[in-house]
Amino acid sequence: MAISIALAGKPNCGKSTFFKAVTLANVEIANYPFTTIDANHGVAYVRTACPCRELKLNCGICRDGVRFVPIEMIDVAGLVPNAHLGRGLGNAFLDNLRQAKAIIHVIDASGSTDIEGAPVPAGSHDPLEDIEFLEHEITMWMSGILKRNWERLSRKVQAEGLKLEETIAGQLEGAGITEGHVKTVLTRLKLPREKPHIWTDEQIIQLSDKLRAESKPLILAANKVDVASQENIDKLVKKGAIPVSAAAEVALRLADKGGAIKYIPGDPDFIESPSLSDAQKGGLSKIRALMKKLGGTGIQKCINETVFGLLDLIVVYPVEDENKYSDKNGRILPDAFLVKKGSTPKDLAFMVHTDIGKGFLYAVDARTKMRLGEKTELKNGDIVKIVAVK
């Protein structure tokens, strides 16, 4: 199953525009809050160098040596401060974040929407104010779920010896929390383990906050930089945000699809076809100026940073024929898998198929033809043949 990433943030910050840019799905986009109510799900891609170039092969899948590995993107409804108290659409729709392994927090860097997403004169709202609330709302959403039945559950932990990690993970299953997450977080927090029923509200919020950070790390995308002041952009970059223009990326991808330009997502520039109208040229030259400044539109960079930076994933290519780098039908480098850094060939085998994982014997590095032991750490770009008992 592809890894899921969610786009979240206040209403009207450009989440659906970002989503449209990366999935080319036709979704509703408008300059007012709560345009999106039901979450949009689509396929986006992380960009990487395809090994076929280096091997002097043609996989027929990549574009000019650029490989796009699919991930799932989720565009959720806008969230406002105090959504957990029922403001805006409330936070029930945060259930859509359940599968998300990371969040791209989209911020309107132009300051042309207030904290609740209503249009205001450009520059009149300080985007720095929009940063903190999202994490808080997600934390409060989780703590709200955890507190449901807590009285009863925590007493059971004490009286009937239920496993604490299992109980908490079970309660937060809908938020995508696993026992592993709970274990990691509990070892860091100094909560009285043996008496969960005396945990205060504050302690439950603290636990939820750590669980949120552990299970859904987040990066900031400072959107609408095409109309934002340099001052706002600088302020957000200082906070670690990646400057982006979702609108520019939509224009480029559509122009590329329509044949007006050649643009490979994530490239710092594009090539114009000779037959453009003056209006097209005018629009594109504005985008080009922005790309020069940012080194691109920032959109692909955001996805790549989330997948490779935040989530620490690498790309590996399982093959069946290590000499031809292909599957048994001769398709070259047919699959690209995103795996956690530190994964072993055996982990990869399990990802390919449970039976292959169970029957794992050894793996071969297709480049060197050397055997890889069960415990070898895979490297980014590895091409691996797995040998398993049939």
Ligand X SMILES: Nc1nc2c(ncn2[C@@H]2O[C@H](COP(=O)(O)OP(=O)(O)OP(=O)(O)O)[C@@H](O)[C@H]2O)c(=O)[nH]1
CB contact burial 194-203 (16+ within 10 A = b; e otherwise): eebeebeeeb
Q: Interface with ligand X includes 246 (CB under 6 A)?
A: yes
Residue 189 interacts with, from ligand X, Mg ion, none (CB under 5-8 Å by kind): none
Q: Interface with Mg ion includes 35 (CB under 5 A)?
A: yes
Binding letters toward ligand X, positions 190-229, x by CB under 6 A: ---------------------------------xx-xx--
Q: Which residues in the 50-109 window bind ligand X by CB under 6 A? A: 77-78
Between CA 293 and CA 291 the distance in angstroms is 5
Least distance (Å) between residue 32 CB and ligand X: 7
Residue 99 interacts with, from ligand X, Mg ion, none (CB under 5-8 Å by kind): none
Half-sphere exposure of 251 (CA within 13 A, CB side): 19
Least distance (Å) between residue 111 CB and Mg ion: 19
Residue 247 interacts with, from ligand X, Mg ion, none (CB under 5-8 Å by kind): ligand X
Residue 223 interacts with, from ligand X, Mg ion, none (CB under 5-8 Å by kind): ligand X
Closest C-alpha to 333, from 346, 320, 344, 345: 320
Are 360 and 343 contacting, i.e. CB atoms less than 8 angstroms apart? Answer: no
Between CA 98 and CA 220 the distance in angstroms is 19
φ, ψ (nearest 5 deg) of residue 368:
-100, -15
Q: Which residues in the 12-41 window bind ligand X by CB under 6 A? A: 12-17, 29-31, 33-36
Q: For residue 278, what are its two tokens?
A: 């003056």
Are 119 and 65 contacting, i.e. CB atoms less than 8 angstroms apart? Answer: no
Piece in contact with ligand X (CB under 6 A), picked from 8-16, 149-157, 158-166, 352-360:
8-16
Q: Interface with Mg ion includes 16 (CB under 5 A)?
A: yes
Least distance (Å) between residue 380 CB and ligand X: 30
Q: Interface with Mg ion includes 40 (CB under 5 A)?
A: no
Closest C-alpha to 82, from 141, 162, 1: 141
Residue 34 interacts with, from ligand X, Mg ion, none (CB under 5-8 Å by kind): ligand X
CB within 8 A of 325, min separation 6: which ones? 51, 52, 55, 57, 317, 319, 332, 333, 366, 383
Give the footprint of ligand X on this chain (CB under 6 A): 11-17, 29-31, 33-36, 77-78, 223-224, 226-227, 245-247
Residues that bind Mg ion (CB under 5 A): 15-16, 35-36
